[in-house]
Every structure is written in structure tokens, then in C-alpha cells.
């Protein structure tokens, strides 16, 4: 299974990725998680990315494409992969297409903007794994504690309301055009075109 999870910030991509990757035994390639790991490790990439991420902007296409290219070389990608938060711009999608990286599905999680601010303000994450919880909608078994490791949960630096609003406008301008990009491609006879599916993201996590 090879797929892209598409959707605005806070749509639940990371949350659903945990179920899908377990079901199919495939790795989650989350460029956001990879960048947060680089920030934490203070690598040159992390130092460069941090300012952009905290402001809610996008890291440069060249950096991201290099990061994903390296990740796909690893042996766990043989069985398939789930892209979460990538591609996020037309040039990123074009790079994936030009490299002939096979794709079966593009799955769009549809969530209206009004719901997103509430989701982000209650989000707590386990930094080492990227697991994400919500104080009200998806609480951990013990408050502020990761279910699997027992380690503390933290708030993401980019989940402040004004940053979230900026991330939403960046999504509208730079990422939402990918909906049309992949729908149009899916409607052609190209055998390489992934099928396109829209999923209502407003139900409970299990739904």
C-alpha cells in the first residue's frame, strides 16, 4: 500500500496514519515529524527549519525533497509507505511524479476550518514518536502522559492560535491546489495515476 494523506493542519493526518501504518505494516513518512526531530537534534537542517516552522510557513521545497528522497532509500519502504504532510506544494508533487514514486491512493481528510483551531489548541504530542492526543477528543490514559512509553506529552510550538491561522492560510494558498492536481490526474487514463478518495474527517477518531 502506497498512499498520500492530504488535508489541512489538524485534519487528523497523524492520528489516522497510526492506524493505517499498523494495518498495512508500512512506515509513516511525516515530513513534519522528521523536521521536528531535526530541530530537537539541532542539526543544520533543524536550525534552519525551526524559524520557518514556528512562524507557520513552509520549509523550502529543495530541503524537503532531499529529505524524502533519502527516507525512501531505507529498506522499510519496500512494502509501501504513507506520506503525511508531503507533498505540500505543486513543485513537491511534481518532484514525486518525476521520480516515478509509485502511488495507489491519495486520501483527503475533509475538515472545516472552524473545527481546526479547537483541535490544535487541545493537542498534546509525544515528541519521540509523533503520537498525537487531544485533551478532550482523544485523551491519553493518564493526563499529559504517552500511553505507550509513559513519557510526558508536550504542546507543539506552532499550535498557538495566530500561528495556526497563518498555517491555514498557507494551506489554502499552497497545498489545497493539490486537491485539484490529484483529482485531475486520477480522472485520466494514466495507469500511474493514484485513485482519489475524500473522507469526512469530522467524526470520532474511530469513525
Q: Footprint of ligand AP5 on this chain (CB under 6 A)?
A: 7, 9-15, 31-32, 35, 52-53, 56-59, 64, 85-86, 88, 92, 119, 122-123, 132-134, 137-138, 158, 167, 203-205
Asked if residue 14 binds Zn ion (CB under 5 A), the reply is yes
Strand partners, 3: 82, 105
Least Å distance, CB 188 to Zn ion, is 30
CA-based nearest residue to 88, from 121, 55, 63: 63
| 49 vs 194, beta carbon nearer ligand AP5 | 49
Give dist(CA 74, CA 76) in Å, integer.
6
52 binds, among ligand AP5, Zn ion, none (CB under 5 to 8 A by kind): ligand AP5
Confirm whether residue 201 is marked as ligand binding.
no
21 binds, among ligand AP5, Zn ion, none (CB under 5 to 8 A by kind): none
Confirm whether residue 88 is marked as ligand binding.
yes
Asked if residue 9 binds Zn ion (CB under 5 A), the reply is no
Least Å distance, CB 75 to ligand AP5, is 23
- Beta carbons of 135 and 124 less than 8 angstroms apart: yes
Query: Which positions are catalytic?
Result: 13, 88, 123, 156, 167
Confirm whether residue 174 is marked as ligand binding.
no
Confirm whether residue 203 is marked as ligand binding.
yes
With contacts defined by CB under 5 A, name the span among 8-16, 51-59, 73-81, 159-167 that binds Zn ion. 8-16
Strand partners, 138: 134
Q: Is 122 exposed, middle or buried (0-12, 13-18, 19+ CB in 10 A)?
A: middle
Confirm whether residue 129 is marked as ligand binding.
no
Q: Which three cell numbers stand for residue 152?
A: 510526558
CA-based nearest residue to 182, from 107, 113, 110: 107
Q: Which residue is nearest to ligand AP5 (CB)?
A: 32
Least Å distance, CB 5 to ligand AP5, is 8
Residue matched to cell numbers 475538515: 111
Burial 32-67 (b: 16+ CB within 10 A, else e): bbbbbbbbeeeeebbebbbeebeebbbbebebbbeb
Least Å distance, CB 93 to Zn ion, is 18
Q: Where are the alpha helices (DSSP H) in the chain?
A: 13-24, 31-40, 44-55, 61-72, 90-98, 113-121, 161-170, 177-186
Binding site for Zn ion (CB under 5 A): 14
Q: Which residues are annotated as a binding site for ATP?
A: 10-15, 123, 132-133, 203
Amino acid at each position: 500500500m502506497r498512499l498520500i494523506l492530504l488535508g489541512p493542519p489538524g485534519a487528523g493526518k497523524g492520528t489516522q496514519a497510526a492506524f493505517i501504518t499498523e494495518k498495512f505494516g508500512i512506515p509513516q513518512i511525516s515530513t513534519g515529524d522528521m523536521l521536528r526531530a531535526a530541530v530537537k537534534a539541532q542539526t543544520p537542517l533543524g536550525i534552519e527549519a525551526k524559524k520557518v516552522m514556528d512562524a507557520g510557513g513552509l520549509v523550502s521545497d529543495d530541503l524537503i525533497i532531499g529529505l524524502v528522497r533519502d527516507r525512501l532509500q531505507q529498506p522499510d519502504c519496500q512494502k509501501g509507505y504513507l506520506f503525511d504532510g508531503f507533498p505540500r506544494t505543486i513543485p513537491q508533487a511534481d518532484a514525486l511524479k518525476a521520480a516515478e514514486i509509485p502511488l495507489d491512493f491519495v486520501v483527503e481528510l475533509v475538515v472545516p476550518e472552524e473545527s481546526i483551531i479547537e483541535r490544535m489548541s487541545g493537542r498534546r504530542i509525544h515528541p519521540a514518536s509523533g503520537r498525537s492526543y487531544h485533551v478532550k477528543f482523544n485523551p491519553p490514559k493518564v493526563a499529559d502522559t504517552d500511553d505507550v512509553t509513559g513519557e510526558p506529552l508536550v504542546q507543539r510550538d506552532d499550535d498557538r492560535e495566530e500561528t495556526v491561522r497563518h498555517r491555514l492560510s498557507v494551506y489554502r494558498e499552497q497545498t489545497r491546489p493539490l486537491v485539484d492536481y490529484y483529482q485531475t490526474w486520477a480522472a485520466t487514463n494514466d495507469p500511474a495515476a493514484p485513485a482519489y478518495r475524500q473522507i469526512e474527517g469530522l467524526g470520532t477518531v474511530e469513525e
